[in-house]
Amino acid sequence: MIKRILSSICILSLTVFINLNNSSNLGINSINALRNQDKEIELKYEDKSVKVNIKTLRNTKKLSRVLNTNIFTESKLETIKKAKVIKEKNRYKAIQGEEKRTIDMNHLVLASLVSDSVDLKLKSENPDFTLDDAQEMADKLNKIKRQTLRIINNGKLNTVEYEALNLFNESSNTISHKTLKDLLNNYENDIENLTSHVYINSGSGQSHGFLRDGKKINYEKTSQKLKENIDKGLLRIEIIYDIDKGLVFDENGKSYKYEKQGEGKSNFKGSDWGRSQNVELGTQNLISNVFVMPSEQVSFLKILRDKGSQIPWRLAKVIKEGGKLELEPGGGLCQVSTTLFRAALQSGMNIDQWRNHSLYVSYYKEYNNGLDSTIYPPYVDLKFTNPYNFPVLFQSYTNDNKDVITEIYSPEKLPEIELLGPFYKGDKEGLRSNQILWERNIKKIFNTKSEIFKSTYNTSVSR
């Protein structure tokens, strides 16, 4: 029994000795030693004493109340008061903190483990935010007191009337993250920063949503940059963002990371109102989200049947047999099928069926001249198949430049796709003035698959 007691005392003494080299951990480790203790001890100071349960020592607030009520009735133990900065008559100044008496908790806990009666020892402590710290901070604030707070968000400048002192934690030279969040919340929730996800049913292949990375404010880096700016005499917040990845979720709620692999583009500048409306409607309603499972074949006409029957298509010109132009609902949808075709080429899809327009159309010259894909129900279709053992996502939108853009996403890296062209008469042997040729090389680890895509029109083409 004596050996066990001596052994425990030796181990405890060694623990305290080691912790003396790390005083910040000493109180915590010592108090944790009381976890399994359950006894009363007498605490004494000069001619006064009080008995407490040893577990009370683990609750410093409760212990302070007990000691102030029973022992330190005239000169109470108080919390250390830090220095602080105040604003008075439009000028910042430092206010002295106070040194206060506190219980030497390490002595108290250690003594409580070996005795039922402990003489309290007091020690004096200084605040960790001193008068010198406060004065340094006041000097910096006085240099920027006439400045308006500037907030730089995504390269755009905004100005706000704001009290600079409120940017800091009280009695501290650290920036308040809570204040920053309140101040910058509207910027983080701006629509251009919001993350968007895609939701799929892997069984049916149905999908909805739009995959887009958003941005979240990194408050640690933003506050650090703000502090650096204040040190330089600038009242300026430069918002620093982290990327918040858009994800693909399946029907079970499992998430997947898809990376952008490329895109197909076309441009419809010069289109009349009806054609422009149909391009916008078709992009938004037909191909905004095309999720292609492994070995699945995509048919543009099927998409049109499934999704296009209720769309209020506008009258616009279509190319009829013999090259005649006539007004029909949905004229211009070939712009949509052409963009999807170009993305299918760029992603390495197997092109099962496609046909260029009978007339050379200038709308398709930009980006990939000669790579256009006409569709006309019920026979003229664009069809392609996913050759990979993982899904591929095509999502499309239009922009203010009148571009239709179809982005390609997949959970695994696609092979390198090389599109060479356009080649015209004189560039390649045998090409005529009404033909444009492209070569596609799909570069895999052990081989390269090469294909020719040649468009032949009823009219001459423009370089």
In a domain, 435, yes or no: no
Q: Kindly tell me if the per-residue pLDDT of 100 is higher than 90.
A: no
Of 348, 356, 350, the C-alpha closest to 375 is 356
pLDDT in tens, 276-326: 999 999 999 999 999 999 999 999 999 999 999 899 999 888 887 767 788
Quote the number of domains for the chain: 3
Three-state secondary structure readout of 49-80: EEEEEHHHHHCHHHHHHHHHHHCCCCCCCCCC
Helix and strand counts by DSSP (H, E) for the chain: 10, 28
Proportion of the chain above pLDDT 70, given as a percent: 88
Q: Kindly tell me if the per-residue pLDDT of 15 is higher than 50.
A: no
In a domain, 289, yes or no: yes
In a domain, 287, yes or no: yes
Residue 168 is predicted with a pLDDT of: 94
Which has more pLDDT, 329 or 423?
A: 423
Q: Kindly tell me if the per-residue pLDDT of 19 is higher than 70.
A: no
Together in a domain, 264 and 408: yes
Distance of CA 283 to the CA centre of its chain: 27
pLDDT-based confidence at residue 7 (cuts at 50, 70, 90): very low
Together in a domain, 100 and 150: no
Q: Are strands 248-249 and 325-329 parallel, antiparallel or unpaired?
A: unpaired
Residue 34 is predicted with a pLDDT of: 54
Together in a domain, 58 and 157: no
Q: Kindly tell me if the per-residue pLDDT of 35 is higher than 80.
A: no
Grouping H, G, I as helix, E, B as strand and the rest as coil, residue 386 is coil
What is the spatial distance between Cα 458 and Cα 356, in angstroms, rounded to a whole number? 11
Which structural domain, as residue segments, surrounds residue 338? 258-413
Domain end residue (candidates: 100, 126, 152): 126
Q: Kindly tell me if the per-residue pLDDT of 401 is higher than 50.
A: yes
Together in a domain, 268 and 362: yes
Q: Note the pTM of the prediction, 2 decimals.
A: 0.69
Of 280, 288, 340, the C-alpha closest to 316 is 280
pLDDT-based confidence at residue 259 (cuts at 50, 70, 90): very high
Together in a domain, 232 and 276: no
CA dihedral 21, 23, 28, 33 (to 10 degrees): 50
In this prediction, residues 155-160 reach a mean pLDDT of 92
Residue 107 is predicted with a pLDDT of: 86
Q: Kindly tell me if the per-residue pLDDT of 353 is higher than 60.
A: yes
Q: 315 CB contacts (<8 Å, ≥6 apart)?
A: 274, 327, 328, 329, 331
Together in a domain, 263 and 406: yes
Residue 26 is predicted with a pLDDT of: 42
